[in-house]
Amino acid sequence: MENRFKSSLHRDALLDAGELFFVSLGSKCMQDKTLGGQGKRFIKGAEAAQYPQFDLLGENRRVAALCATLNRLNTHVADALSVHCRHLFNDTGVQITLSPWTNQGQDAECWLGAAPDHKSEPLVSMGFAHSDLFSLSELFFGGQLAPVKKIEGRQVSETEERLAQKILHSMLGAFFGKLGIKLEGWQSQWHNRSPQQHQVRTELTIKVGEGQLRWQCSWSTDFDPNPQPLAVMPSALKPQLEQCAHAIPVKLKVTVAQLSLSLGELGKLKAGDILPIEMGETVSARIGKVSCLRGQLAEQGDQLVLRIGDGIGETK
């Protein structure tokens, strides 16, 4: 079904930030009955806040599906991490929990990210405060799990690096085992900034006796654990699609010359004035912003024509 956006907005009308201007999306696309009978085309920002944003690209649906997938595995992963950390810290009282995954979360001082070795940006990361890493190392050496005051200007020690890497890899193994993803080829690396892609996040809590610590874990929304297979075009359709593609109309735009002058000079021009034009040796023909042909201007009878020099795929 083709939706045509139509608007009778006057060219001088302005919308403030947060206001809504309604356009027709067709009878099957506009299902909000709350607008019935109001006769409004504009809605002020305060009232507009009650209406949900339209998820045109499906980003919200992808985030919701990813969070649902990860949340179903939280209990399994928490149990697996708890068992691993009991061995790691030699303490049978270690218990780890994961909060529900959402698209909200806090920043951290340092991040340990993991990704396949051909990826430059991490897909799954853990974010720690330096004081929390120090507390984990104290627990590893037989101390008590207790909060430590914020530590300024401190580098991550080798022991803290190894502990964080073991916890991250254990968590990945628990998730990937259930999701059917191979951990082989994944590498971890420390970063001093939070992940740059869109993320969903959970908060991990480790409890030992009366002490507990929390840190962040993020999962890139671009890393889909259940990717949909790409649709394969039936071979019988290919000739038909090629034939249709050749019939698509395009509009070529040939710019013969361009001039630069000030706004004051432009305002002084009047009928009968002459502007000097210098034509280059070659000109380009464009479809939109893409240059597809290049050639020279020539005369053919009483017409100005373009003699093609470089065709599609030949221009540089």
pLDDT tens, residue by residue, 106-148: 888 889 999 998 777 899 999 998 888 988 998 898 888 776 6
Q: Is the pLDDT of residue 22 over 60?
A: no
pLDDT at 75: 96
Number of domains within the chain: 3
Would 229 be classed as within a structural domain?
A: no
Residues 117 and 175 in one domain: yes
Cα-flanking dihedrals φ and ψ of residue 70, to 5°? -70, -35
Residues 157 and 292 in one domain: no
Residues 203 and 130 in one domain: yes
| Contact residues for 69 (Cβ-Cβ < 8 A; gap 6+) | 179, 225, 226
Q: Is the pLDDT of residue 25 over 50?
A: no
Residues 314 and 169 in one domain: no
Residues 48 and 106 in one domain: no
Would 310 be classed as within a structural domain?
A: yes
**Considering the entire predicted model, what is its pTM?**
0.59
Q: Is 42 exposed, middle or buried (0-12, 13-18, 19+ CB in 10 A)?
A: middle
Section 89-117 average pLDDT: 90
Pick from 310, 302, 81: nearest CA to 207: 81
Section 42-66 average pLDDT: 75
Residues 110 and 45 in one domain: no
CA distances from 313 to 40, 283, 289, 308 (A): 51, 16, 15, 13
Q: Which amino acid is at 177?
A: G
Residues 108 and 177 in one domain: yes
Residues 163 and 182 in one domain: yes
Compute the Cα dihedral for 181, 183, 186, 191 and give only its sign. Answer: positive
Would 254 be classed as within a structural domain?
A: no
Residue where one domain finishes, among candidates 202, 220, 238: 220
Residues 47 and 123 in one domain: no
Would 201 be classed as within a structural domain?
A: yes
Lowest-confidence region among 34-43, 147-156, 303-312: 34-43
Residues 198 and 307 in one domain: no
Would 31 be classed as within a structural domain?
A: yes
Domain of residue 155 covers: 59-220
pLDDT at 8: 40
d(CA 283, CA 255): 7
Q: Is the pLDDT of residue 69 over 60?
A: yes
Residues 180 and 47 in one domain: no
277-286 pLDDT, tens digit per residue, is: 777 778 888 8
Residue 52 CA to chain centroid, in angstroms? 20
Section 28-51 average pLDDT: 55
Would 242 be classed as within a structural domain?
A: no
Mean pLDDT of the chain, nearest integer: 80
Section 44-73 average pLDDT: 80
Q: Is the pLDDT of residue 313 over 90?
A: no
CATH number of the domain at 83, please: 3.40.1550.10
Residues 21 and 85 in one domain: no
Would 189 be classed as within a structural domain?
A: yes
Section 247-266 average pLDDT: 85
pLDDT at 45: 64
Would 273 be classed as within a structural domain?
A: no
Residue where one domain finishes, among candidates 184, 203, 220: 220
Residue where one domain finishes, among candidates 203, 220, 237: 220
Residue scoring higher pLDDT (265 or 76): 76
Percentage of the chain modeled with pLDDT above 70: 77
Lowest-confidence region among 37-51, 71-85, 283-297: 37-51
167-209 pLDDT, tens digit per residue, is: 999 999 999 999 999 988 899 998 878 887 789 999 999 999 8
Q: Is the pLDDT of residue 26 over 60?
A: no
